[in-house]
């Protein structure tokens, strides 16, 4: 980056990076930056521009990849999905079917609540304790939130699972942003499938 354009970037900077803000002050006061400051600012703006163009690329060229991955999401995202979609529970286990966008730190995905066998409660992410939770993938409290009477005996299981599936199908596909750091399980698999989806 040329010195003039670095100074122009510093003068026009209105972000909240303290270092660049201090250079901006210095530049206004003394009219120039030292060689060292110019280098540091140049690195900063080069990185910032790369990040911005990555983001713009991802917006212009939506990724749109078909995948089939089960993920477990973090508490924060489960709650966000829940409130964004007016659900009476928090969906922790999701089956992702499409990746719409990829940025450095997040994905925009389409997913549905997981209906396959799971090892933790699909509605709160907690460990499953008794046989009912194990066969249904839902604990008793979450079942209540879902609005489906819980299984009492083995014979109820099939009907119960059918009701859950109907409910989940009715909720259908959910579209949401998920920060990579909020994917607690299934991250590697998702990355792999995105790469191999071509
Ligand atoms: Zn639960």
User: Which tokens in the block code for residue 196?
Assistant: 């191999």
Cα–Cα distance, 14 to 132 (Å, whole number): 56
Please give the order of strands across the beta sheet that includes 65-73.
174-179, 106-113, 93-102, 65-73, 183-185
Cα–Cα distance, 7 to 27 (Å, whole number): 8
- Give the Cβ contact number of residue 51 at 10 Å: 13
Q: How many Å lie between the centroid of ligand 1 and the Cα of residue 133?
A: 9
Task: Give the DSSP letter of residue 197.
Answer: T
Q: How many Å lie between the centroid of ligand 1 and the Cα of residue 145?
A: 9
Residues 78-87: tens digit of each pLDDT: 999 999 988 8
Is the predicted pLDDT of residue 56 greater than 70, yes or no?
no
Evaluate the CA torsion angle 23, 24, 26, 27 in order and state its sign.
Answer: positive
Q: How many Å lie between the centroid of ligand 1 and the Cα of residue 61?
A: 38
pLDDT above 90 as % of the chain: 63
Residues 169-197: tens digit of each pLDDT: 999 999 999 999 999 999 999 999 998 87
Q: How many Å lie between the centroid of ligand 1 and the Cα of residue 120?
A: 8
């Amino acid at each position: 980056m040329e010195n003039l354009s670095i100074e122009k970037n510093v003068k026009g900077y209105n972000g909240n990076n303290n270092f660049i803000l201090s250079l901006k002050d210095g530049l206004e006061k003394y009219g120039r930056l030292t060689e060292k400051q110019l280098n540091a600012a140049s690195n900063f703006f080069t990185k910032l521009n790369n990040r911005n163009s990555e983001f713009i690329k991802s917006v212009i060229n939506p990724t749109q990849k078909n995948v089939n991955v089960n993920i477990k999401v973090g508490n924060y995202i489960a709650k966000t999905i829940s409130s964004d979609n007016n659900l009476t529970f928090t969906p922790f286990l999701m089956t992702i079917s499409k990746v719409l966008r990829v940025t450095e730190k997040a994905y925009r995905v389409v997913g549905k609540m997981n209906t396959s066998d799971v090892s933790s409660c699909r509605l709160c992410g907690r460990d499953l304790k008794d046989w009912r939770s194990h066969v249904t993938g839902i604990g008793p409290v979450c079942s209540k939130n879902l609005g489906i009477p819980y299984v009492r005996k083995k014979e109820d299981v099939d009907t119960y699972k059918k009701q859950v599936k109907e409910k989940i199908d009715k909720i259908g596909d959910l579209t949401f942003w998920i920060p990579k750091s909020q994917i607690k399980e299934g991250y590697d698999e998702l990355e792999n499938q995105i790469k191999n989806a071509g």
